[in-house]
Structures are given as structure tokens and as C-alpha cells.
Structure 1
Amino acid sequence: MEEKSTIFTATHGVMTTEVGVISGELELKTSCTEDGLLKLGITYAGAAEWYTLPGEEYRLHDPRDHEVIHHLLAKVLERA
């Protein structure tokens, strides 16, 4: 399973399933299995407790797209 991580600042916040909106300096972590199952996690930068983003199961048609999707998500969440 491949993991990617990016730290960014979300001034308007990011919705999480567990605690609602979080904002400030956040870390996005994505992991992708060989069959394309994509898992998303977000936390305050440096914190130990991870939250999930709302939604159902995420799956990539091609796991090689993981890096592109990760960077795209980080940029979109940064603008949110």
C-alpha cells in the first residue's frame, strides 16, 4: 500500500465525519492499495488523532493515478 502526505493551510476549513469542520495547518494522508482502494485521512499538523473525510468508498480506476489525485485533493482542500 502506497501512502502520501501533504501539509497545507485551510483557512475556511475542511469537513470531517467525526468532528465537523477543522481549519488551520492540516495534514492530508492518502493511501492506495494495488486494486485502487483509496483511503483519505486528515488531522491537525503534528497531531496523533486522524479524521476521515465524508463520503463512501473511494476507488481509483488506475492506482498509478494516486499521486495526481493526492495533490489535487490537497490543493482543493487548501482552497476550501
Structure 2
Amino acid sequence: MQKKSSIFTATHGVMTTEVGVISGELELRTTCNDAGILTLAITYVGAEEWYTLPGEDYRLHDPRDHEVVHRMLTNVLERT
């Protein structure tokens, strides 16, 4: 299982399933298993509680694409 993590600033906020929109300095964590199942989690930098991004059943055709998808998600969530 691979885990990727990136810190970014979300000026306009990111929607979460549990608490709605969060913004500021955030950390995105993506996890991908050997079958390509992708999980997405986000938190405030330094916080202990992680939130999920809306949606479910994320699956990559090829788990080797995890790095590219993680970078793409970080860039999209950070855009202003």
C-alpha cells in the first residue's frame, strides 16, 4: 500500500463529508493499494482528525498512476 501526502493552502476551501468546507493550510493524504483502490483524506496541518472528500469507490486502472493522481488532486484543491 502506498501513501502520499502534500501540504497546500486552500484559499477557497475544500468540501469534506464530515464538516463541510475547510480552508487554510491543509494536508492531503492519498492511499492506494495493489488493486488500485484509492482513498482520499484531508486535515488541517498539525491536526489529528482526518476528514474524507466526497465520493466513493475511487479506483485507478493502474496503481502506478498514484503519484500523478495525487499531484493532480493537490494542484486542483490548491487553485485560487
Common fold by TM > 0.5: yes
Q: Structure 2 length as normaliser, TM-score?
A: 0.98
The residue aligned with 1:14 is 14
The normalised TM-score by structure 1 is: 0.98
**How do 1:1-80 and structure 2 match up within 5 A?**
1-79=1-79
Give the paired residue count. 80
Give the letter for the 1:20 counterpart.
G
Q: Following superposition, which runs of at least 4 residues in structure 1 exceed 6 angstroms of deviation?
A: none
CA distance in 2, matches of 1:60, 1:5: 17
Gaps of 5+ in 1: none
Structure 2 counterpart of 1:19, which letter?
Answer: V
Deviations 1:22-71 (A, max 9, x none): 00000000000000000000000111000000002100000000000000
